């Protein structure tokens, strides 16, 4: 991997990047040790940003915001934006089952790449490469008072505050192979009468999307 680079960083030791992009199904060395280190580095980078950007936030709010930013689905989304899946080295079984598209593998590999950046170039170089990946997520964080409350919780609180019936969620359908399903869920309110649909890679994610759509209608956003 002579001349290997990632995120604008040219690796002095390409073997680090190669290891970070190698799943255990493809043999050793693979990315799991790097993933361990990268997880801590990412938490530090994100925590540092939240501390600087939210001078009035307490520990709880910053902890919840960090959890939103470093959860598996968020990391997988960042990895897809970097087309990381196309660069992974997987064993035949994982290749056949679409491992390069799986959230868990993409998230783990992204953390491993972060560790490789750190080991190769130091913390400043790592942070410089990583921050642009997460800037859209940082910018899209909800207002401070809503951080950590998902759409289903916010919808429930909105209804309870007005002593209205709770929403009903129903699975409307699912498509795709077992390893790459998309779920479609409906969210219905009796009062005020409202209904919306949402989709996601899990039933829970689809419920959240449906609740967000109903909330948007209720709040006129």
Catalytic positions are: 39, 111
Tokens representing residue 172 in the block: 């409307």
Instruction: Say if CB 29 and CB 44 are below 8 A apart.
Output: no
Half-sphere CA count of 84, side-chain side, radius 13 A: 32
Tokens representing residue 135 in the block: 């800037």
207 is in an annotated binding site: no
108 is in an annotated binding site: yes
- DSSP β-bridge partners for residue 168: 188
35 is in an annotated binding site: yes
| Numbered residues of the known binding site for Mg(2+) | 35, 108, 111
| Numbered residues of the known binding site | 35, 108, 111
């Amino acid at each position: 991997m002579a001349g290997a680079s990632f995120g604008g960083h040219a690796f002095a030791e390409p073997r680090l990047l190669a290891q970070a992009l190698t799943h255990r199904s493809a043999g050793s060395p693979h990315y799991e040790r790097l993933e361990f280190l990268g997880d801590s580095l990412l938490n530090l980078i994100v925590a540092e940003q939240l501390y600087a950007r939210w001078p009035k936030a307490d520990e709880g709010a910053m902890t919840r915001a960090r959890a939103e930013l470093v959860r598996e689905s968020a990391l997988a989304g960042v990895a897809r934006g970097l087309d990381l899946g196309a660069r992974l080295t997987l064993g035949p079984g994982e290749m056949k089952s679409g491992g390069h598209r799986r959230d868990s593998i993409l998230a783990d590999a992204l953390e491993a790449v972060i560790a490789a950046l750190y080991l190769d170039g130091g913390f400043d170089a790592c942070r410089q490469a990583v921050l642009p990946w997460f800037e859209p997520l940082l910018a899209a964080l909800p207002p401070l008072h809503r951080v950590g409350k998902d759409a289903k919780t916010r919808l429930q609180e909105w209804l309870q505050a007005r002593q209205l019936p709770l929403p009903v969620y129903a699975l409307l359908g699912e498509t795709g192979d077992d390893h790459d399903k998309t779920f479609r869920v409906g969210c219905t309110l009796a009062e005020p009468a409202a209904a919306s649909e949402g989709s996601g890679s899990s039933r829970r994610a689809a419920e959240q999307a449906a609740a967000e759509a109903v909330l948007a209608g209720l709040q006129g956003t």
